[in-house]
Structure 1
Amino acid sequence: MGNLTNHPHVYKVLTVIFLVLFLYNSSMLLYNYDNINTIEVSEKSYTHQNMETKLNENIYLKDIESKQTNRKTKFEILSNPNLSNYTTSNFYKYYQDGLKVINKTEDDNSNDLKLILLYDPVFRNFKDGLDQWKWYFPLESPFTCKNGFSCRLTTDHDKLTEASAVMVSLPGLPPDSNTWIPGGYIPPDHQKWVAVWAEAPWYFAQHQNITSWLQMLDDIFDWTASYHSDATFTGFYRQNCSYVKRKTKQPMDKELILKSKNNSALWVVSHCNSTSGRDKYAQDIQATGLINVTVYGKCSTSGEKTEDAFKNLDNYYFYLSFENSLCDDYITEKFFKMLKQNIVPVVMGAPRSDYERLAPPNSYIHVADFTSPTDLAKYLLHLQNNPDEYYEYLEWKEWYQLDCPEFPWLGCQICQKLYQKEAPQKDLFRNFTSYWNSKKCYGQDFTNTRISEDNM
């Protein structure tokens, strides 16, 4: 027969046979796999949809496990005894002062309530930094909210392990990022860490170097409480209130309102030379000679705060609600308080659409709608000289009313959420730097805040 390998068609034949066998074996494997799955599904009464759901659940559980592992690793790094100088006696030296801040009326029946730990002062550089938690919490333990939920409150770091929530004010943290977590501490699974801040990133860049170690906050916090519209807890500048349209018009005394106006614009400000450039903008308005701006506060000519600065608001046509930073979502109480008064806010801060989302239509004047302080001053003077047109900025009050929840406190929102069941570590902020920078800031260019859709 001779040597088969020398036959000219042997390799072609062998190749064809190999391909046929390969395809046959592959089809049998797929067939058997499908049959096995079908048998298993039949035996366990699973549908194909059930299988996919189970698979997704396994992936989710692995993801949760990964988050917990990362969190544990991060705490191990931050709480390394070789790095941490933490002790309950020297942490800001507020331990004893903190115990005095909270009015304690606890009894044996209070032990079953969720415990919230105020971990650090609201602001590091203020002597009464811990007392300033009163902006967010009723400083008593236990406290009961109008929503029916009750929690205990403490500043005692010895109770860290039993706390259900740990409130961390970012402006209150020490400059050294390795000294704020106790050595060897790993949070229990049930414990929620909450990052709290009220100022925009530009404020932190100017006053404390937090941006240099933001990455150290990765995998630490479960929840956030800030001015961000997508924060876990938001709205503390407006106390979660909103404006809703009335079913019927509620007329106001137009003549009486207009009759009381005898001053142009008021501005109460104590944070001078801010990153938004609001100081120069207000000075430029005044320099036109068209509008007089009355200034109170530490940035006024006297350089002192005036207790009765807001006493005669009805006498002014306008209030300058100028923010210290031009950033997305950053709208503070200086705007929301003025909406409650018969005065027209002139706003500088977040993009116009952010104001539109929160305020009634035609309830304010945005500086970004004007090319310069002079153009704005001309318009304000025009409104002063044309009372009917001016009143159009107050007319919304006849159609809109302020609707506030029964529990505006941030502390009450957190207390309620602690009693609600949720997936473990569901809201863990793995990349805190990314979240921190998710809201844009615009320097001193107020014209960029005209239309937020183009900026976000």
Structure 2
Amino acid sequence: MSRYLALLRFCRRSGLSCICKYFLVFTFLLCAFIYFLLKIKLSIDYHYAQVLYQTQRSKICQKKINSTQEKPKLILFWTKIFTNSIDANYINSHLFASPGRCDINRCKVTNNRQELCASDAVVFHARGGIKMNDMPQERSLHQRYVLLTKEPPYKTTAIVGHLNYFFNWTATYRTDSDIAYRYFRWRRKDKIVTGASPQSYLNNRQVRAAAMISNCYSQNNREHYIKRLSSVIPVTRIGHCSWNKCHKLYYECLNELADAHPFFLAFENSLCRDYVTEKYANVIKNRRMIPIVFSKDFDLYIPNSFIDANQFSSPENLGRFLIELVKNSTLYDSYFKWANEYELVVPDENDYLCELCKKLNDPNEPNKVYDSMKKWLYDDATCQRWISKLNRTINVSVDETMDYEDSLF
């Protein structure tokens, strides 16, 4: 509203008051129309979600399927991965060949919806275009429906939260998912390095933090936190949300930033349970900056490899700590000792299919169904937002987190 008033004052000063008033009214009515249109579409989708739940049990595949133990398990991708179809030929020849990347080769991937009734698993990507008017019309009793996503809850199509008694398994970044679909993991080395000569990492760099951000309006208000931090120490912003652009490859940009920046702000766009992306992993692989994270899941990070902004009472206190830290090279270098004991593991983008294949071929795998996707996907995620006036985080309501996204708007 303040933006509209400011524009109206400008119009009065410039003598275009009448034209601007009509423009503002038109803009307001257009936004209201789109808002109510989306509300109506949501109501229709929610209605069909309930109808789907009530009728899906009666829509049993009538085709006779020759199911044998030797037959490879068929995995059907019902939706795209974002806007791209899965490359079935590559997956089948790279993952499930003999030998292939997976330890097991008794699976096959397809995009062909004509093979729905023959499929052992049907995969739905949360941002791949799940639409109530484009759902499977039949379902086999042995099938597992799988929800696939690496996105935080507020970047997941809201209709997913209303598909109760629909999904059997989840493949997400969450540690309680049935199938791991994470950006990275870490493990202890088989041989721990002892007695290594100390290495200097600070190299006379002055206190300065870097940030590479493409999502300009985060759910957790990270931009507000960074703005206050930048009043204490210099912060270099690179990406869509700044005038500074790096037109090189990501790792080249990261390495150039490391020349003058001892710290990197690896703040995610959401502060939700288990949500940690490649932002942290890329800095760890670079091994020239200390990542500063904003999280509540310490066990997701390599021990003693990061600084947690949540442990400071304010951005200013974090900034003052960083100023003192660069004065002590021994203390700064201690944040890199993890490399003697731990290592980062970044899985291939399709490795989750190996685990899915193992589960499909396990005769002892118990039956399971998610009776409330809203609870698991949204409530249990416990997303939070940092509030500048309070100097702390508060919980984000589930209704706000459930953000409907339609490709038409």
| TM-score above 0.5, yes or no | yes
Aligned to 1:310: 254
Q: Secondary structure at the match of 1:287?
A: coil
Residues 126-137 of structure 1: pairs in structure 2 closer than 5 A: 129-130=83-84
Distance (Å, rounded) in 2 between the aligned partners of 1:245 and 1:275: 39
Q: Describe the shift of the 1:408–1:197 C-alpha distance in structure 2 as closer, same or farther (beyond 3 A).
A: closer
Instruction: Please give the root-mean-square deviation of Cα atoms over the aligned residues, in Å.
Output: 3.2
Aligned to 1:114: 73
Residues 173-252 of structure 1: pairs in structure 2 closer than 5 A: 173-174=129-130, 177-182=131-136, 185-204=137-156, 210-211=157-158, 214-215=161-162, 217-238=163-184, 240-244=185-189, 246-249=191-194, 251=196
Alignment coverage as a number of residue pairs = 322
Residues 1-400 of structure 1: pairs in structure 2 closer than 5 A: 73-75=54-56, 112-123=71-82, 129-130=83-84, 139-142=90-93, 143-144=95-96, 145-150=100-105, 151-174=107-130, 177-182=131-136, 185-204=137-156, 210-211=157-158, 214-215=161-162, 217-238=163-184, 240-244=185-189, 246-249=191-194, 251=196, 254-255=199-200, 257-259=201-203, 261=205, 264-288=208-232, 291-302=233-244, 306-307=248-249, 308-312=252-256, 314-315=258-259, 316-342=261-287, 343-348=289-294, 350-351=295-296, 354-355=297-298, 357-400=299-342
Contact 1:270-1:305 within 8 A present in 2 as well: no
The TM-score, its normalising length taken from structure 2, stands at 0.70
Deviations 1:54-76 (A, max 9, x none): xxxxxxxxxxxxxxxx9974526
Contact 1:168-1:195 within 8 A present in 2 as well: yes
Q: Secondary structure at the match of 2:255?
A: coil
Contact 1:195-1:221 within 8 A present in 2 as well: yes
Q: Secondary structure at the match of 2:74?
A: strand
Deviations 1:262-285 (A, max 9, x none): 672221111111111111221222
Contact 1:203-1:275 within 8 A present in 2 as well: no
Identity of aligned residues (%): 25
Contact 1:344-1:393 within 8 A present in 2 as well: yes
Q: For 2:134, give the aligned amino acid.
A: W
Q: For 2:111, give the aligned amino acid.
A: T
Deviations 1:16-70 (A, max 9, x none): xxxxxxxxxxxxxxxxxxxxxxxxxxxxxxxxxxxxxxxxxxxxxxxxxxxxxx9
Distance (Å, rounded) in 2 between the aligned partners of 1:201 and 1:298: 22
Q: Secondary structure at the match of 1:389?
A: helix
Contact 1:165-1:194 within 8 A present in 2 as well: yes
Q: For 1:322, give the aligned amino acid.
A: F
Measured after TM superposition, the shift of residue 161 of structure 1 is 1.7
Measured after TM superposition, the shift of residue 362 of structure 1 is 1.9
Which structure's residues are more often helix, by fraction? 1
Structure 2: gaps spanning 5 or more residues: 1-50, 61-69, 395-409
Q: Describe the shift of the 1:282–1:186 C-alpha distance in structure 2 as closer, same or farther (beyond 3 A).
A: same
Q: For 1:160, give the aligned amino acid.
A: L
Contact 2:186-2:302 within 8 A present in 1 as well: no
Deviations 1:355-404 (A, max 9, x none): 2x122322111111112111111111111222111112112222323467
Q: For 2:221, give the aligned amino acid.
A: G
Q: Secondary structure at the match of 2:323?
A: helix
Contact 1:121-1:169 within 8 A present in 2 as well: yes
Q: Describe the shift of the 1:420–1:361 C-alpha distance in structure 2 as closer, same or farther (beyond 3 A).
A: same
Distance (Å, rounded) in 2 between the aligned partners of 1:409 and 1:154: 16
Distance (Å, rounded) in 2 between the aligned partners of 1:443 and 1:334: 19
Distance (Å, rounded) in 2 between the aligned partners of 1:77 and 1:272: 46
Larger radius of gyration: 1
Counterpart pick for 1:431 among 360, 363, 372 = 372
